[in-house]
Amino acid sequence: MAEIRSIVVIGAGQMGGGIAQVAATAGIAVKVLDAFPGAIDKCRGLHDKLLARAVEKGKMTQGDADAAKGRIGYLPIASLDVVSESDFVIEAIVEDAKVKRDLFAQLANATRAQILATNTSSISITEIAAAAGDAADRVIGMHFFNPVPVMKLVEVIKGLATSEKTTLRTIALATAMGKTPVPANDRPGFVSNRVLMPLINEAFYAWMEGVAEPAHIDEIMKLGCNHPMGPLRLADFIGLDTCVHIMDVLADGLNNDRYRACPLLKQLVAAGRLGDKTGRGVFEYGK
């Protein structure tokens, strides 16, 4: 199977930025696109910071960091035509089914890329693929975990029409990026968020019902269950907006009210408290 030499990442947020960094470090040329120029600048700044830190810690030579940076091109979304030159596209935009379907409909026209992968946390791959029409066999779920440079897993999810060739190339790319691909079926939230997100949601209910203070809920789960982060800290880290989107997909897809997002979680999102990315969610963070 031919090696994958270049990819396009659409969405330069925390996930798209992380995917681009890991791919570039693995020797793959990357173009990263975002609808908002501010997001592109932020992504570039974060890459500079993380690569400089890796050099300081002796994990990478300055030459390798410079080479990785040189492999990344930063572009506004207006340049969707660059996608046509790439073998492999990874979408990492907002967790909204309609916005993703619109993008995949455009991508199916804009590119002959062999693979159109989505980093969705929970949305049906089959539904996203349907928007790509004849290209549905080239659409697949390639679910990375946050922070991408640290987390080993890529959950690989086939839609109804996904071809074997698409699956094998996706597994090959994940492996080339130093990740461990593990398959899951196309059900709401797949495995990871079917299990993780209700736990996070329950922590919000525990807070709302006064079972304990947020810091104590987290401390109990960290020290009592050996989780690296408490569930409320993890929700801030993921993004509270993303958590609500995922719970909505679970509640609708599994048709069960026990998956409804906790009102307190929704209220924080309504207030613009999205977690780390806005500086405040459950907890407050410095700039």
Known catalytic residues are 121, 143, 155, 193
| Number of chain residues interacting with ligand CAA (CB under 6 A) | 17
Options 131, 193, 230, 268; binder of ligand CAA; rule CB under 6 A: 193
Options 36, 152, 183, 270; binder of ligand NAD; rule CB under 6 A: 36
Options 147, 163, 202, 220; binder of ligand CAA; rule CB under 6 A: 147
Q: For strand 115-118 and strand 139-144, is the pairing parallel, antiparallel, or unpaired?
A: parallel
Preceding omega of 76 cis (within 30 degrees of 0): no
Rule CB under 6 A: say whether 181 interacts with ligand NAD: no
Query: Rounded distance, CA 287 to CA 31, Å?
Result: 28
Which stretch in 76-84, 105-113, 124-132, 188-196 sits in contact with ligand CAA by CB under 6 A?
188-196
Rule CB under 6 A: say whether 146 interacts with ligand CAA: yes
Helix, strand, or coil (residue 15) = helix
Query: Rounded distance, CA 97 to CA 126, Å?
Result: 11
For the chain, state the CA radius of gyration: 19
Spatial contact of 69 and 51, defined as CB atoms under 8 Å apart:
yes
For residue 252, how far is the Cα from the chain centroid?
Answer: 21
130 residue type, one letter: A
- The partner in contact with residue 206, picked from ligand NAD, ligand CAA, none with C-beta cut-offs of 5 to 8 angstroms by kind, is none
Paired with 33 in beta bridges are 10, 75
Rule CB under 6 A: say whether 130 interacts with ligand CAA: no
Residues at the interface with ligand CAA (CB under 6 A): 50, 57, 59, 121, 145-147, 149-151, 192-193, 196, 228-229, 234, 238
Q: Which residues bind ligand NAD (CB under 6 A)?
A: 10-16, 34-36, 39, 77, 92-95, 99, 103, 119-121, 144-146, 238-239, 242, 277
